[in-house]
Amino acid sequence: MLPLLLSLLACNPDPYPGEQGKILHVGLRLLPKSFDPPQVDDEGSGAIASQVYEGLLAYHPYARPYQLIPALAADLPEVSEDKLTYTFTLREDVRFADDDCFPGGEGRAVTAQDFLYAFKRFSHPNTRARGWWLLDGKLVGLNDWRDGLSDQMTAAREAGEEIPTDALWGIEQSVAGLEVIDDRTFRFNLTEPYPQFLWTLAMSYTSVYPHEAVEYYGDEFRNNPVGTGPFKVTEFNPVYRVVYEKNDNFRDVTFPDPEHNPDERWDGWEKDRDAGLLVDAGQKLPLLDGIEMRFILEDQPRWLYFKSGYLDFLNPPKDNTSEAVPQGDLSGELKERGVRLQPWTELGTVYTCLNTLDPLLSNVGVRKAIALAFDHAWTVENLYAGQAVVANTLIPPGVAGYVDYHPFHADDGAAQYEKARQVLAEAGYPDGIDPATGKSLRIRFESSGTSVTARHFSDRFTDEMRRIGIEVDVIVNTFPQMTQKMRGGNFQVAGLAWGFDYPDAQNILQLLYGPNKAPGVNSSNFDDSTFNSLYEQSATMTDGPERTALYEQMSQIVSDNVPWITRAHRIRQNLQQPWLQGFRYTGVNDQYWRYADIDLEARQASVSQWNAPVRAPLFVLGLLSVGLIGLTVYRGREL
């Protein structure tokens, strides 16, 4: 059987046999958790959900600094003078994709009632939305409605009623802050000015979807998305891949054409035109017939897929970055192939999270000692192949509030073991020995994967801690397993990264705000009264020097108290195959794929050339084994 399989593969090295049309091939490095918008709080889920779901607003695909544009709204909102009322008018041509949840399988028109339902479901206590912090305390009556439902459900259960924990009990009760004016007009009434509010309306959390889908699919709604976006899902295997096709109900939206339409111009549009990003100007979106996203968790197979032309786009894995982008420039081989490089400095921060409620780590001296023992220069050079900068603070450079203040980082990012041992002794643990037991301190480090990068970091962390007398137990989790532990406060140390949901430092500072402690987004459980006061003061301020000064103070408090050890701001060296064109990558959301286009003839010619039969069999067998493993795991799991 094996010789026969190899013979067949030698004749047809294509891992996408029978595929028709312009299908984009993307490889994801993380398994997604859910398509359900209130649960989209991780990179994998964000990538898959962004192709299906939309909200009132979206990011301009090319303008930098980032700008918001209408999506399902007909225009930007009418805002009251006191900044407390936002009134949106919906487009008339928006329909949900066809789906079995609708009578006759035909998608219907979107109305303001759909937004009311989506926002109330997001806020319902039984939904347990990870992003509840977005609206917590922000809309008139919303918290009272939410708390009232909790009390009513508790009373009903105590009276003997059976109320499922996921039921939207009482969702029909009104909320003053969410107001339907008519079918096409929706109004938000805020409790106080909320400068970041419009950014939140471009997030996956606040996407719209039909109540029919939630009711029809029940628990399986997380695997059966129904939205308004340019694509709809035709296949979803949560451990292997997701396949999309063009949504025939997608409204009439065209590719920006600034050269011929002055109203569509943005600063720097000429440079984007000259760079070839606007070759499809004026054409109807989407330009693709579909997308196939394959979940390839291991770095090497992802890199080999791209080198063979079986992926159209890639952030090269750390171990392959020096091969792909030596000294920050494309390799000769990739240049010869016509591959393009689109570097992007990540709007986010890689960090190590310390649970400040843990009995050992509640000692700030222990946290400082751990921070001093980190070798950030080694991390940048070895884990990111130089494609990162040391994160001296939690706010990235270029974002208002950044300040180069790092009391427990060396200027060059190197470890400071002797100083770390001194601080650890002052904290009550000389040589890392617990005087109560006479034994070395032990801490648990939660790793979120088995990739080469994850293993290298956990090995390095173990070595760094051992140098100051602390032993480390590495616990390997899937990302969902690790986040579940953190929500329950059941961890000591974990490696994480935060990509900004919107380009405002408040988005990362809220991860340290005391009231957001677990199970909220403040996984470190940091609770500093001064920080909290500054955060609350800045929350209603518009962008400007005064607010920036408060952000800087908060950042310094975090650096002084070390609930996080900030490690790196990564540089994404995005590689694009020569046949892929028209879009600009952004890490804020993943809706940019609708602007992508593919030259099918160029792809077919290159893939055939790069995968000559003489070397295809074993290589392709290796690639197929990745998919077969995914299918095997999937078949053994009941969804």
CATH assignment of the domain containing 524: 3.10.105.10
- Note whether residue 306 is domain-resident: no
Strand partners, 25: 292
Q: Is the pTM of this model over 0.85?
A: no
Q: What is the pLDDT of residues 284-314, one digit of tens each?
A: 999 999 999 999 999 999 999 999 999 999 9
**Beta-strand pair 23-28/290-295:** parallel
pLDDT computed for residue 542 by the predictor: 83
Is there a contact between 347 and 588 (Cβ–Cβ < 8 Å)? Answer: yes
Same domain, 393 and 542: yes
- Note whether residue 161 is domain-resident: yes
Q: How far is CA 62 from the centre of its chain?
A: 19
- Note whether residue 358 is domain-resident: yes
pLDDT computed for residue 7 by the predictor: 42
* Distance separating alpha carbons of residues 382 and 40, to the nearest angstrom: 31
Last residue of a domain, one of 541, 556, 571: 571
Last residue of a domain, one of 519, 537, 571: 571
Same domain, 207 and 356: no
- Note whether residue 457 is domain-resident: yes
- Note whether residue 470 is domain-resident: yes
CATH assignment of the domain containing 197: 3.90.76.10
pLDDT computed for residue 636 by the predictor: 36
* Distance separating alpha carbons of residues 213 and 4, to the nearest angstrom: 45
Angle at 379 between CA 374 and CA 382, to 5 degrees: 145
pLDDT computed for residue 513 by the predictor: 97
Is there a contact between 579 and 310 (Cβ–Cβ < 8 Å)? Answer: no
* Closest to 90 measured CA to CA, from 180, 174, 225: 180
DSSP for 80-117, written as a single string: -TTS-EEEEEB-SS-BPPP-TTSGGG---B--HHHHHH
- Note whether residue 433 is domain-resident: yes
pLDDT computed for residue 573 by the predictor: 86
What residues of the chain score a pLDDT lower than 50? 1-12, 629-639
* Closest to 441 measured CA to CA, from 417, 465, 464, 422: 465
* Domain range enclosing 219: 53-223
How many domains, the chain? Answer: 2
* Closest to 221 measured CA to CA, from 92, 82, 41, 35: 35
First to last CA, the chain: 32
- Note whether residue 601 is domain-resident: no
Last residue of a domain, one of 571, 595, 629: 571
DSSP conformation class of 396: P
Q: Which residues contact 471 (CB under 8 A, 6 or more apart)?
A: 440, 441, 442, 443, 465
